[in-house]
Chains A and B, each alone.
Chain A
Amino acid sequence: MRKNYKGWDEIRKKLENSHITPPYPTWQELHQAVQNRDSWNYIGRKVASYEQTPPNYIKQRIFYGSPIVRYSPMPVLLIGFLIGLLAGLLVTYKHDVYNWITYNTDHIIANEYRKTQHVENLQANNTLSNNALQDSEESLSKYAKTPNTYIQNNSPTVLADASQTSLNSMRNNLGSGLNNPVNTYASHPDDSSALRSIPPLKPTLQLSKQQNSDIKAMTPEFGSNKQAFSSSIPIIAEIHGGANLTRIASLNSEGFSNKVFPGFQTSLLIATPVYKGHLVYLALSKTHSRVSVFIEGREYYNHISGTALEIGGISKTGFVLNGRHFYVRYGLLWSQFHSNNSASIIKAGRSLGGLIAIRRFSGMLGRRFVWGWEGGMSMLFKDVSNLQGGQIPVNFYISAIIGFKM
């Protein structure tokens, strides 16, 4: 074996000591080599001379800090919380609100109609009573004249006393008759012809057939909206605006700080009852948050905005706490989130998420508007960060609500 190698070694030594001129490259080879080099250089030159103006916000970031840093979210945060707080503080239990949210507005209208009718009837009766009193006094004065004539002819003192007593008694009865004129007049012991001339009064709360049927049509059985909504399905529209705090749920070694980040959000919601007053809603919401991240001792800011399409339900009755009624909103959301990516921390993307919230209605503004507040949390089911470790954002929020029933 070694002998075979020895021969090759000798050849190698010979070749090392000799100056062998390599074969001159052919013209084609040379041309190809030159062309290759030129082409790549051409690309190099072309690309190297290229210029592209960076976006304006890079300049802002370098010279004035991140635009999000300059724009302080604190005022928005405070305003959002103040709205929520006011709504919370002004919470008073109102049955009407309960009816509104269970969409028995017609029930409220019917009640109000009844109240109005009752007052009108009372007023009408009082007028009648006053008229009756006036009439009776006139009759009594006529009646009183008769004894005078009789006294002149017969025994004036006794008859005058008797007529005066009778007059006083009638006045008393007429006075009490104002409260219940029908009964009082009907049972008056002194059934004089003058009193009989007073026309009978209508019963206080007796409504006409038309009024009764109107109220019946407008008053569904409480809690059952079948009758009220059989003719038209109501649509509820709500506008939400408030403040949020976003917490990035997981940390990693890159230094993602465990913080909550302030922001604000707005939503538009449309709901309609589908089953025994339970609502299904569709909402479009927009959230804005600022996230600051420390990487290698340097702080980076990301403005994260998300547009979410939500679908879910609102409980019909919810729960009662300290006599106050709260409702529950729950749903799924599909979010498209963006980032200004100042440090490529938060990536843009899409994710499914979930939402649960507690809401309360505090008052009505007229018959069609209602106002209240809502607090809740939403969570995306997907990592939103370029960093490793699973950055799942959880968003806590409180919003003021203005609702409108179409």
Chain B
Amino acid sequence: MWQLLKSLASRKGKYKDDKELAKACASGNRDAQEELYNKYASKMFALCLRYAREHTEAEDFLHEGFIKVFSTIHQWKGKGSLESWMRRVFINVILEKLRANKHNVYSFSSYQTASAFDDEEESTELNVPAPDPDIISQLSEKEIIQLIQRLPDGYRTVFNLYVIEGFSHKEIAEMLGISEGTAKSQLSRAKSLLRKWIEEQFYFKKKVTKHA
């Protein structure tokens, strides 16, 4: 009941659509900005969690992302959904942050060794068998995100951009300043690791449930 009231209260907004809301935000209206935050914070936080190594880093991404959204929202002309535009802004902010800390975040040596994949085709990634959909359905979203967070920084970024955001290898390569082959190899390795961990997690969970 409380949850329902809370959700109703949170949905109650002064602005009839995102265009009006964005316009108010662009004029510096704090109430509108707060409404925008209330509307999209949980979605954006989930996005940040996927790219971050840990919870606190995701909080920083969220903080930075919203600051960026508020300062650039006048650039959104109403083409496409506001949520998609915000996602793009958040991803750019996250990538900027990751690039700024690249000496910590990215392992360039792994990119260099991955250049061997430059001449290979898309089939590289297809060689990695996907986990069984039944297994995936048994795991919660949170568990999958936690497994994604365990991936090395480079793998995680490429995996998110390709599998979840739907960018092509060419776009990913441009965004990260790496070659397409590197992006492919990162994806391939990310998938291998993730598949292994998903199965481990599933069997572990099954074992625990059985004993319980």
Interfacial residues, chain A to chain B (CB-CB below 8 A): 32-33, 35-44, 46-55, 58-59, 61-63, 296, 341-344, 386
Contacts and interface: CB of A to CB of B under 8 A. Distances in A.
Contacts of A50: 46, 141-142, 145
A207 B163 CA distance: 97
Interface string B193-211: 0100000000000000000
B196 to A, nearest CB: 14
14 contacts: A39-B136, A42-B133, A43-B144, A44-B163, A46-B136, A47-B144, A49-B141, A50-B142, A53-B42, A54-B42, A58-B59, A58-B62, A63-B34, A63-B37
B164 A48 contact: yes
A358 to B, nearest CB: 38
B119 interface: no
B63 A52 contact: no
A39 B142 CA distance: 17
A344 B57 contact: yes
B43 interface: yes
Given A48-B164, A341-B56, A40 B130 contact: yes
B33 interface: yes
A61 B66 CA distance: 11
B131 interface: yes
Interface residues of B, number: 40
Nearest to A48: B164
Contacts of B145: 47, 50
A71 B37 CA distance: 23
A33 B57 contact: no
A62 B132 contact: no
B56 A344 contact: yes
Among A33, A47, A341, max chain B CB count under 10 A is at A47
A341 B60 contact: yes
Contacts of A46: 136, 141, 144
A391 to B, nearest CB: 15
A54 B41 contact: yes
B130 A62 contact: no
B76 interface: no
Contacts, number: 95
Interface string B59-76: 110110011000000000
A296 B100 contact: yes
A342 B63 contact: yes
Contact of A47 (B104, B129, B148): B148
Interface in B154-171: 163-164, 166
A43 B136 contact: yes
A61 B37 CA distance: 12
Among B34, B141, B145, B166, max chain A CB count under 10 A is at B141
Contacts of B136: 39, 42-43, 46
Contacts of A59: 34, 37, 41
B46 A342 contact: no
Contacts of B132: 39
Contact of B46 (A39, A40, A43, A52): A52
Contacts of A44: 163-164, 166
A48 B137 CA distance: 14
B83 to A, nearest CB: 11
A63 B59 contact: no
B126 A36 contact: yes
A209 to B, nearest CB: 75
B62 to A, nearest CB: 6
Interface string B114-154: 00000000000010111111001100011011001000000
Contacts of B62: 54, 58
Given A46-B141, A52-B42, A54-B42, A62 B37 contact: yes
Contacts of B189: none
A37 B129 CA distance: 9
B191 to A, nearest CB: 7
Given A44-B164, A47-B141, A342-B63, 12 more contacts: A37-B130, A40-B130, A42-B137, A43-B131, A46-B136, A46-B141, A46-B144, A47-B46, A47-B164, A49-B141, A50-B46, A54-B45
